[in-house]
Amino acid sequence: MDKVFINNLRVDTIIGIYDWERQVRQTVSFDIEMAHDIRKAAETDDIQYALNYKAVSKRLITLVENSQYLLIETLAEEAARVIMTEFSVPWLRLTLYKPGAVRGAENVGVIIERGRLA
């Protein structure tokens, strides 16, 4: 199966369990791989057969900017659910980074895989 990807999509949101985190927007970032058969899009050169990564990105930005989850696990699950249901993605691997959450570490985060590869 082919994969369409988005790397380092950065979005500001309210995320975290501490009181100070509920008061400030923090930047999270996503790397996403999504299964999609690109052959028809390539054959026809027509966007209607492609997985429109701009549309996926815009939807994810809207979701994340308007969310206020406590846990990155919850945000990752909701992001995966939205992408899979709204864009008919059968499988994805989503990495969600929360930079600066741990002193001395560039990033912390979660990696989830959902669905099945064909």
Query: b/e map of 39-59 (b: 16 or more CB within 10 Å)?
Result: eebeeeeeeeebbebeebeeb
- Domains in the chain with CATH codes: 3-115 (3.30.1130.10)
Q: Which residue has the higher pLDDT, 1 or 98?
A: 98
CA distance 65 to 63: 6
Q: pLDDT (tens digit, 9 = 90+) per residue, 74-104? A: 999 999 999 999 999 999 999 999 998 899 9
Just list the catalytic residues. Answer: 98
Mean of per-residue pLDDT scores for the chain: 96
**Which tokens in the block code for residue 27?**
């930047």
